[in-house]
A and B are shown apart, each in its own frame.
Chain A
Amino acid sequence: MKQTDRLSVFKTYKLFVGGKFPRSESGRVYEVTDSKGKWLANAPLSSRKDGRDAVVAARKAFGGWSGATAYNRGQILYRVAEMLEGRRDQFVAEVADAEGLSKSKAAAQVDAAIDRWVWYAGWTDKIAQVVGGTNPVAGPFFNVSSPEPTGVVAVVAPQESSLLGLVSVIAPVIAAGNTVVVIASEKSPLPALSLGEVLATSDVPGGVVNILSGKASEISPSLAAHQDVNAIDLAGADEELAKALEVAAADNLKRVVRPQAVDWAADPGTGRLTAFLETKTVWHPTGSLGAGGSSY
Chain B
Amino acid sequence: MAFEYAPAPESRAVVDIAPSYGLFIDGEFREASDGKVFKTVSPSTEEVLSEVAQASAEDVDAAVKAARKAFEKWSALPGAERAKYLFRIARIIQERSRELAVLETLDNGKPIKETRDADLPLVAAHFFYYAGWADKLDHAGFGADPRPLGVAGQVIPWNFPLLMLAWKIAPALAAGNTVVLKPAETTPLSALFFADICRQAGLPKGVVNILTGDGSTGAALVGHDGIDKVAFTGSTGVGKQIARTLAGTDKKLTLELGGKGANIVFDDAPIDQAVEGIVNGIFFNQGQVCCAGSRLLVQESIQDELLDALKRRMSTLRVGDPLDKNTDVGAINSAEQLARITALADSGEAEGAERWAPACELPGAGYWFAPTLFTNVTQAHRIAREEIFGPVLSVLTFRTPGEAVAKANNSQYGLSAGIWTEKGSRMLAVAGKLRAGVVWANTFNKFDPTSPFGGYKESGFGREGGRHGLEAYLAGAAEPSNERSEREGERDR
User: Bound state CA distance, A282 and B431, in angstroms?
Assistant: 7
From residue A141, how far is it (CB to closest CB) to chain B in Å?
7
B contacts with A: majority SS:
loop
The answer to whether A135 and B448 have CB atoms under 8 Å apart is: yes
The answer to whether A139 and B448 have CB atoms under 8 Å apart is: yes
With A135-B448, A145-B451, A159-B493 known as contacts, the answer to whether A275 contacts B485 (CB < 8 A) is no
A253 within 8 A of B: yes
A138 within 8 A of B: yes
A283 within 8 A of B: yes
Determine the chain A residues whose CB is within 8 A of the CB of B436 once the complex forms.
280
With A263-B490, A268-B481 known as contacts, the answer to whether A283 contacts B466 (CB < 8 A) is no
The answer to whether A236 and B493 have CB atoms under 8 Å apart is: yes
With A135-B466, A281-B453, A284-B441 known as contacts, the answer to whether A252 contacts B412 (CB < 8 A) is yes
User: Bound state CA distance, A145 and B446, in angstroms?
Assistant: 14
Contact with B along A257-268 (1 / 0, CB 8 A): 111111111111
Determine the chain A residues whose CB is within 8 A of the CB of B246 once the complex forms.
246
The answer to whether A283 and B483 have CB atoms under 8 Å apart is: no
Which residue of the partner chain B has the closest CB to A172?
B480
The answer to whether B480 and A271 have CB atoms under 8 Å apart is: yes
User: Bound state CA distance, A235 and B453, in angstroms?
Assistant: 29
A161 within 8 A of B: yes
User: Bound state CA distance, A130 and B467, in angstroms?
Assistant: 12
A42 within 8 A of B: no
A243 within 8 A of B: yes
Number of A-B residue pairs at CB separation under 8 A: 163
With A250-B244, A251-B240 known as contacts, the answer to whether A284 contacts B427 (CB < 8 A) is yes
Determine the chain B residues whose CB is within 8 A of the CB of A265 once the complex forms.
485, 487, 490
User: Bound state CA distance, A262 and B488, in angstroms?
Assistant: 10
B198 within 8 A of A: no
User: Bound state CA distance, A278 and B415, in angstroms?
Assistant: 11
A136 within 8 A of B: yes
With A135-B451, A137-B450 known as contacts, the answer to whether A242 contacts B439 (CB < 8 A) is no
User: Bound state CA distance, A243 and B452, in angstroms?
Assistant: 30
User: Bound state CA distance, A137 and B450, in angstroms?
Assistant: 6
The answer to whether B456 and A263 have CB atoms under 8 Å apart is: no
83-134 of chain B: CB within 8 A of chain A: 125
B136 within 8 A of A: no
Contact of A138 among B427, B434, B441, B448 (CB under 8 A): B448
User: Bound state CA distance, A130 and B141, in angstroms?
Assistant: 8
B404 within 8 A of A: no
With A137-B450, A261-B484 known as contacts, the answer to whether A247 contacts B247 (CB < 8 A) is yes
From residue B488, how far is it (CB to closest CB) to chain A in Å?
9
Contact of A281 among B255, B437, B479 (CB under 8 A): B437
The answer to whether A230 and B457 have CB atoms under 8 Å apart is: yes
Interface size on B, residues (CB 8 A): 55
468-493 of chain B: CB within 8 A of chain A: 468, 476, 478-485, 487, 490-493
Most buried by A among B461, B478, B490: B490
User: Bound state CA distance, A203 and B103, in angstroms?
Assistant: 62
Which residue of the partner chain A has the closest CB to B241?
A250
239-296 of chain A: CB within 8 A of chain B: 239, 242-243, 246-247, 249-253, 255, 257-269, 271-272, 274-275, 278-285
The answer to whether B483 and A235 have CB atoms under 8 Å apart is: no
Contact of A263 among B244, B457, B491 (CB under 8 A): B491
Contact of B481 among A135, A145, A247, A267 (CB under 8 A): A267
The answer to whether B456 and A278 have CB atoms under 8 Å apart is: yes
Which residue of the partner chain B has the closest CB to A63?
B433
The answer to whether B452 and A135 have CB atoms under 8 Å apart is: yes
Determine the chain B residues whose CB is within 8 A of the CB of A130 once the complex forms.
141
Determine the chain A residues whose CB is within 8 A of the CB of B484 once the complex forms.
261, 263, 266
User: Bound state CA distance, A137 and B443, in angstroms?
Assistant: 14
Determine the chain A residues whose CB is within 8 A of the CB of B322 once the complex forms.
none
Contact of A161 among B243, B442, B458, B492 (CB under 8 A): B492
Contact with B along A132-161 (1 / 0, CB 8 A): 000111110101010000100000001111
Most buried by A among B446, B457, B492: B492
A131 within 8 A of B: yes
Contact with A along B408-432 (1 / 0, CB 8 A): 0000100000000000000100010
With A253-B240, A266-B485 known as contacts, the answer to whether A274 contacts B478 (CB < 8 A) is yes
B146 within 8 A of A: no
The answer to whether A239 and B125 have CB atoms under 8 Å apart is: no
135-164 of chain B: CB within 8 A of chain A: 141
B378 within 8 A of A: no
A165 within 8 A of B: yes
The answer to whether A271 and B457 have CB atoms under 8 Å apart is: no
From residue B141, how far is it (CB to closest CB) to chain A in Å?
7
The answer to whether B463 and A253 have CB atoms under 8 Å apart is: no
User: Bound state CA distance, A158 and B440, in angstroms?
Assistant: 41
From residue A181, how far is it (CB to closest CB) to chain B in Å?
18
The answer to whether B487 and A263 have CB atoms under 8 Å apart is: yes
The answer to whether A138 and B483 have CB atoms under 8 Å apart is: no
From residue A211, how far is it (CB to closest CB) to chain B in Å?
18
329-383 of chain B: CB within 8 A of chain A: none
Determine the chain A residues whose CB is within 8 A of the CB of B450 once the complex forms.
135-138, 143
User: Bound state CA distance, A89 and B452, in angstroms?
Assistant: 48
The answer to whether B481 and A269 have CB atoms under 8 Å apart is: yes
Determine the chain A residues whose CB is within 8 A of the CB of B493 once the complex forms.
158-160, 235-236, 238, 259-262
The 8 A-B pairs of least Cβ separation, nearest first, read: A243-B248, A246-B247, A250-B243, A269-B481, A137-B448, A271-B480, A263-B485, A160-B492
Q: Offer 30 A-B interface pairs, CB within 8 angstroms, sorted by A.
A: A130-B141, A137-B450, A139-B446, A141-B443, A143-B448, A145-B468, A159-B492, A238-B493, A242-B248, A247-B244, A247-B248, A252-B412, A252-B458, A253-B236, A253-B458, A253-B460, A255-B461, A260-B482, A262-B493, A263-B490, A264-B490, A266-B481, A268-B480, A271-B476, A281-B453, A282-B431, A282-B439, A282-B441, A283-B451, A285-B442
Q: Which residues of A contact B (CB under 8 A)?
A: 130-131, 135-139, 141, 143, 145, 150, 158-161, 165, 230, 235-236, 238-239, 242-243, 246-247, 249-253, 255, 257-269, 271-272, 274-275, 278-285
Given contacts A250-B243, A266-B485, A280-B438, 10 further A-B pairs with CB under 8 A are A139-B448, A143-B450, A249-B247, A253-B236, A253-B243, A262-B482, A271-B481, A275-B479, A281-B438, A285-B442
